[in-house]
Chains A and B, each alone.
Chain A
Amino acid sequence: MQQPNQPRLRLAEHAARPQRVFCGHCGHPPDDVDAGSRVCERCNLGLMLQAPPEIAPTPADPFLVIDGSLTVCAMSQAAEALLEVSETEAVNLHVTDFLVPAEAEAETTHNLIAMLMWAARGDIDPTQVVVRPADLYGVRYWARVGSCGPPTAALLVLAAAS
């Protein structure tokens, strides 16, 4: 029986994380958020995805969407230009065909592959990592890694390394 001064347990309502919607190809948000269209009407080539604001890309950001098998599922227009490959060529190839960790000696927790796999499961908060093009040394990019969807996948957003 509950004592008078005993604090009560109350069910804490889970606050859904805010999400930002963006096109998986052009990176633009939808013109009408309430329309709920799965396809981007701006570029007609991307599907609408969601990600936390701290990881969601801007239209100018190069980014890749990667699934749990580390296969590229989508690539932004900016990433196509940056990596010099078209999305149709890149899709279904392994992410390490394009990007590899820039720091080969990095600790496991900061390992790019591990982070992508966790992110593809939705088990990671946005994290930063340094990557480089697979066939190019001397060029490094900061990358934000987080989760997006639907369906849940890893989102890797590139920025020029400072």
Chain B
Amino acid sequence: MPVLHDGLRALRGRGPTCHNPGMSSVRTNAAAALLGVSPNTLRSWERRFGYPKPRRTDGGHRQYELAELEALRQAFQETHNISSAISIARERGEGPATTIRLADAFRRFDEPRANQTIEESLALRSVERTVEELLLPAVDALGDTDAATAEYQFAWRFLTGWLAAAQRVAPPAYRAEGIVIFDASRPCDMDSLFAQALELLLRRAGLRTLSLSVELDPGRLAHALRALRPRQLVLTGRRASLDALGRLVYAARAAEGPIEVFDYRGALPDTGASTVRRLDGSPLAARDALIDHLAEPAEPAAAPAAPRRLRATGA
């Protein structure tokens, strides 16, 4: 959006705007400059029309969503008065569904509002982009402080349910390759949501997937792996020991031969000497990387070293 970029460049040196560069909102002065009006005008619109509706920071400062401002600015070009422009901007759903709106719905435990926001996103974005750009950031914004807040737990369970439902309606696999995901996260971990999101995206890409907990007995993996015949193994979640992960990887390779192992979102500590490929934290990027590697011819991996046996000396 070049118009917004020009407006923001013009604000250089005019004082503080948004203290959260990662969020798509600006303070009153910046919002007014973007619309070409005075801050008093913005406040008068808020009183008279209730739009644009800013959030309030902890310090009481107004924060306006850039999407709302752009919708309003665009509406000015299409109409002849303020109330019509505001009506148009509102009808357009205040711009594309944003992470802030969804996070606000979670904070209010407002499930219908959350569903509506997601529906609006799906009208403009693909399922994959909705997951990556809206759902995951919205839950992440509520903080993952050991799942200490009810709002975060509500959001986490909401998204888990949504991802599970989306998996159920994903089209059947049309590719022969399978991917097994060992998830070392616990309920209410953000890693768990990212693992579910990755599995959903892989399923929608036509791959066969199987998600298992790392607490599984490695000796009972063979039947599952024979059914899936995975070409790739993804480790995710940070609650398992290196030892436990190693046993699972060994068991998988022993059962199925050359399986590529990937680390998603730091499941393995970075020792610098690992041969495990690391995937980007973004589910879409991770999915693309996995698919790209599937296209490479499978490298015959070295046969897993047989456990050392005690041999009797020939005395």
Contact = CB atoms under 8 A, between A and B. Distances in A.
Contact of B37 (A44, A67, A74, A87): A44
A41 B45 CA distance: 12
B149 interface: no
A157 to B, nearest CB: 14
B35 to A, nearest CB: 7
Contacts of B160: none
Interface centre among B77, B78, B79 (most CB of A within 10 A): B79
Contacts of B83: 45, 87-88, 91
Interface in A20-52: 24-25, 36-39, 41, 44-47, 49
B85 interface: yes
Interface string B29-72: 00000011110110011001000000000000000000000000
Give the residue among A36, A39, A67, A150 with the most B Cβ atoms within 10 A: A39
Interface in A52-100: 65, 67, 73-75, 87-88, 91-92
A151 interface: yes
Contacts of B48: 45
Nearest to B32: A39
B80 interface: yes
B36 A87 contact: no
Interface residues of A, number: 24
A49 B41 contact: no
A45 B82 contact: yes
Judged by DSSP, the binding face of B is helix
Interface in B72-109: 76-85, 87
Contacts of B35: 39
Contacts of A24: 80-81
A117 interface: no
A44 B41 CA distance: 6
B62 to A, nearest CB: 16
Contacts of A67: 80
A115 interface: no
Nearest to B85: A47
What 3 A-B pairs have minimum CB-CB distances, sorted nearest first?
Answer: A74-B81, A74-B80, A73-B80
15 contacts: A36-B36, A37-B37, A38-B76, A38-B77, A41-B37, A41-B38, A45-B82, A45-B83, A47-B79, A49-B80, A73-B84, A74-B81, A87-B81, A92-B87, A150-B77
